[in-house]
Amino acid sequence: MSQIRLGIIGLGSMADVHIKGFEKIEGMRLTAVCDTAMDRVQRITEQQRDVRGYTDPRKFLASDIIDAVLIVTPHKFHPQYAIAAFERGLHVLTEKPVAVTAADALAMNQAHAQHPELIYSVMFQMRTDPLYRKVKQMIESGRVGKLLRVNWVVTTWMRTQAYYNSGSWRATWEGEGGGVLLNQCPHNLDLLCWLVGMPTQVVAQIGVGKYHKIEVEDEVNALLTFEGGATGSFITNTAESPGVNRLEIVGDLGTIIAQPGGTPVLTYYESAGSVSEFIATTPQAWGKIASNLHAITPAATDWGHHCILQNFINAIRHREALIAPGEDGLMSLELSNAMLLSGFNHSQPVNLPTDHAAFDKLLNRLIAQANQKKK
């Protein structure tokens, strides 16, 4: 198949990262760019004369010079552009999160279902990290057994006030629809669901503007319940340094501890047998089941945004299986919407899938309150 003609909408800092990565991508060329800010468009078209620029998203999507769209605008615009693109017969790769609300993510999935011939993917590049690929492979090959507990402390997302001040949409209910859960943690929430499935219930405590002058959450402490009775926790904030990033997945047959970083650490404790069986059957009052420690080195393979983009292009050209289907974008939003619903309702338990109308109502109230304060 000939080269895929790609258009990008939203030409901010993340678009720059994607454009830099294009040299690694085979089978595509950039043909059009769009941003509502003219200077952003000119910055690209002056460097790349064969790329056509648009400030009107409708003209961009109707241009007939693109086969696929990469959506890199603030999150709340992702749904409208994805749905309009599907209607124009365009393949879609959207940045994370696919939307702000689970209801919008569902609408995107439904719009895609009307056009199953089109490819729809989401930029969850952490799924290509060899560390998490290895964890997934170990779970799928049965090395953990029945899930008992999953805990993720991820507090390495420190952000400064200057970062939050760098864009008027950032860290506002109206512009972004949330804080650390919507901007930094979609990756972790996605990985959590990808690895062990979506929880069935969430209880959360949130800190709103606790460490920064922002109107959204910058701290979350959540307890999770999974089908089958497994429990978990998810702890994050944007105020610690250096922070901790430690994922523990504990099962009846083994425990995985994954710690990313310059030198990723992947530890596997392999139980000599089923722990639950041992507990039930051993005659020893102080019996311990043996476990072998394995320090695993994940393969040093290339990973990152460009891998998701290459996979998207390959899916269009050769029907390669998607690493991150767009439909999966719903899971992390169900989880983040549930944490906010619980956090704003005195830590009441919230069942998943969430009550979409209840979350929309909460978000509209938070937007109205924030706007009222600004008056």
Site for ligand NAD in 50-69 (CB under 6 A): 57
Q: Measured from the CB of residue 98, what is the shortest distance to ligand NAD in angstroms? A: 9
Q: Where does residue 295 fall: left (phi above 0), alpha (psi -120 to 50 degrees), or beta otherwise?
A: beta
Contact between 181 and 336 under an 8 Å Cβ cutoff? The reply is yes
Q: Tokens 């089941």 map to which residue?
A: 289
Structure tokens at 211: 């460490």
- By the rule CB under 6 A, 9 interacts with ligand NAD: yes
Return all residues near 320 (Cβ < 8 A) that are at least 6 apart: 311, 314
CB of 95 to ligand NAD, least distance (A): 4
Q: Half-sphere exposure (CA, 13 Å, Cβ side) for 312? A: 32
Structure-token pair, residue 325: 């289907």
Q: Which is nearer to ligand NAD, 249 or 324 (CB)?
A: 324
Contact criterion met (CB below 8 Å) for 171 and 179:
yes
Site string for ligand NAD, 174-193 (x = CB under 6 A): ---------x----------
Q: Does 10 bind ligand NAD (CB under 6 A)?
A: yes
Q: Which of residues 83-112 bind ligand NAD (CB under 6 A)?
A: 95-96
Phi, psi of 210 (to 5 degrees): -80, -35
**201 touches ligand NAD (CB under 6 A):** no
Binders in 226-255 for ligand NAD, by CB under 6 A: none
Contact between 28 and 21 under an 8 Å Cβ cutoff? The reply is no
- For position 127 contacting ligand NAD by CB under 6 A, the verdict is no
Which one of 5, 27, 40, 205 is in contact with ligand NAD (CB under 6 A)? 40
Q: Is 21 in the site for ligand NAD (CB under 6 A)?
A: no
Which has the closest alpha carbon to 76: 174, 209, 189, 184?
Answer: 174
In the complex, minimum distance from the CB of residue 186 to ligand NAD, in angstroms, rounded to a whole number: 7
**Per CB under 6 A, 36 contacts ligand NAD:** yes
**What letter would DSSP give residue 95?**
P
**Residue number with the smallest Cβ distance to ligand NAD:** 12
Q: Is 289 in the site for ligand NAD (CB under 6 A)?
A: no
**Least Å from the CB of residue 187 to ligand NAD:** 7
Other CB atoms within a 10 A radius of the CB of residue 259 amount to 15
Of 31 and 255, which CB lies nearer to ligand NAD in the complex structure?
31
- CB of 255 vs ligand NAD, minimal distance in Å: 29
What's the first-to-final CA gap in the chain, in angstroms? 55
Does 324 engage in binding with ligand NAD (CB under 6 A)? Answer: no
Query: Of 13, 47, 241, 372, which one interacts with ligand NAD (CB under 6 A)?
Result: 13
Which of 73-81, 147-155, 192-200, 268-276 is the region at the interface with ligand NAD (rule: CB under 6 A)? Answer: 73-81
Q: State the SS3 of 146-187.
A: CEEEEEEEECCCCCCHHHHHCCCCCCCCCCCCCCCCCCCCHH
Binding site for ligand NAD (CB under 6 A): 9-15, 35-37, 40, 57, 72-75, 77, 95-96, 123, 125, 167, 183
